[in-house]
Homo-oligomer: A and B are copies of this chain.
Amino acid sequence: MFEDLRFPVIAAPMAGGPTTPELVAAVTAAGGFGFLAGGYLSADALADRIAKTAELTGEPFGVNLFVPGGAAETDLGGHIGRWRAEAERHGVEPGEPRWDDDAYTAKLEVVLERKVPVVSFTFGVPSPEDVGRLHANGSEVAVTVTNPAEAERAIAVGADALVVQGFEAGAHRGLFADEPEAEGGGPQYGVLSLLRLVSARTDLPLVATGGLVHGADIAAVLAAGAVAAQLGTAFLRADEAGTQPAHRQALANGGRPTAFTRAFSGRPARSLVNRAVADFSATAPSAYPEVNNLTKPIRAAAGKAGDAEIMSLYAGQTYELAGSGPAASIVERLQAEAREAATRLSRLR
* Residues in A lying within 8 Å of B, measured CB to CB: 7-8, 166-168, 183, 187-193, 196-197, 200, 210-214, 216-217, 219-225, 257, 316-318, 320-321, 335, 338-339, 341-342, 344-345, 347-349
Contact B341 A223 (CB under 8 A): yes
The 8 closest A-B pairs by CB, nearest first: A190-B190, A193-B211, A342-B345, A220-B224, A219-B223, A220-B220, A193-B317, A168-B190
Chain B residues contacting A321 (CB-CB under 8 Å) are 196-197, 200
Nearest-Cβ distance from residue A217 to partner chain B, whole angstroms: 6
Report how far A196 CA is from B211 CA in the complex, Å: 9
Chain B residues contacting A183 (CB-CB under 8 Å) are 183
If the complex has contacts A217-B224, A220-B220, A220-B224, are A193 and B318 also in contact, measured as CB distance less than 8 A?
yes
Report how far A85 CA is from B197 CA in the complex, Å: 37
Nearest-Cβ distance from residue A200 to partner chain B, whole angstroms: 6
If the complex has contacts A192-B190, A192-B191, A321-B200, are A224 and B219 also in contact, measured as CB distance less than 8 A?
yes
Chain B residues contacting A211 (CB-CB under 8 Å) are 190, 192-193, 196
Give the one of A188, A197, A210, A339 with max B CB within 10 A: A188
Chain B residues contacting A223 (CB-CB under 8 Å) are 216, 219-220, 222-223, 341-342, 344-345
Supply 27 A–B pairs (Cβ within 8 Å), ascending by A.
A8-B347, A168-B192, A168-B193, A189-B317, A190-B190, A190-B191, A190-B193, A190-B211, A190-B317, A192-B192, A192-B217, A192-B221, A193-B210, A196-B211, A196-B318, A197-B318, A197-B321, A200-B321, A216-B225, A219-B223, A220-B220, A220-B224, A222-B348, A223-B342, A335-B348, A338-B348, A342-B348
Report how far A169 CA is from B86 CA in the complex, Å: 41
Report how far A217 CA is from B223 CA in the complex, Å: 8
Chain B residues contacting A224 (CB-CB under 8 Å) are 216-217, 219-220, 341
